[in-house]
């Protein structure tokens, strides 16, 4: 939850017996939402976590793919038989694959940001 007065973020347990929410930073008080609204918040937060995971996986692939590409470029001067046998196809394949992964990372980041669900009180 986010306080509408000071914009401090804190988590709220859904099984709290209190009827009021108090911000730990500025002591702003507000009403606790009903159980059906809390259920909607929980569903939205689960969807947000799913999109975060879908954004992290291609980001990690992009990072490790970029590392592998740099390793390939750095070892190219050392008479590496694998790289010389594959030629420029491997170079352009890595560049194309990394470009596609970068586009996927951007698309997933946009989807994640579009599905963020912030709760203000």
Specify the pTM: 0.61
Residues 53 and 110 in one domain: yes
Give the contacts of 69 (CB within 8 A, at least 6 positions apart): 94, 95, 98
Residues 52 and 3 in one domain: no
CA dist 66 and 72 (Å) reads 10
Show the beta-strand stretches assigned E in the chain: 20-22, 29-31
Mean pLDDT, residues 92-108 taken together = 87
Is 40 exposed, middle or buried (CB count within 10 Å of its CB: 0-12, 13-18, 19+)? middle
Q: Does any domain span residue 84?
A: yes
**Domain, as residue range, for 104:** 44-114
Residues 4 and 49 in one domain: no
Residues 60 and 91 in one domain: yes
Q: Does any domain span residue 100?
A: yes
Q: Reply yes or no on whether the pLDDT at 85 is more than 60.
A: no
pLDDT at position 121 is 66
Q: Reply yes or no on whether the pLDDT at 109 is more than 80.
A: yes
pLDDT at position 30 is 77
């Amino acid at each position: 939850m986010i306080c509408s007065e000071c914009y401090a973020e804190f988590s709220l347990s859904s099984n709290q017996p209190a009827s009021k929410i108090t911000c730990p930073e500025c002591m702003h008080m507000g009403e606790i939402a009903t159980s059906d609204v809390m259920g909607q918040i929980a569903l939205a937060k689960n969807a947000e976590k799913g999109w975060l995971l879908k954004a992290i996986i291609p980001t990690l692939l992009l990072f490790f793919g970029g590392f592998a590409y740099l390793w390939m470029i750095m070892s190219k001067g050392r008479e590496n038989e694998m790289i010389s046998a594959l030629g420029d196809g491997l170079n352009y394949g890595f560049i194309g694959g990394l470009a596609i992964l970068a586009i996927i990372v951007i698309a997933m980041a946009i989807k994640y940001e579009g599905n963020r669900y912030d709760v203000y009180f």
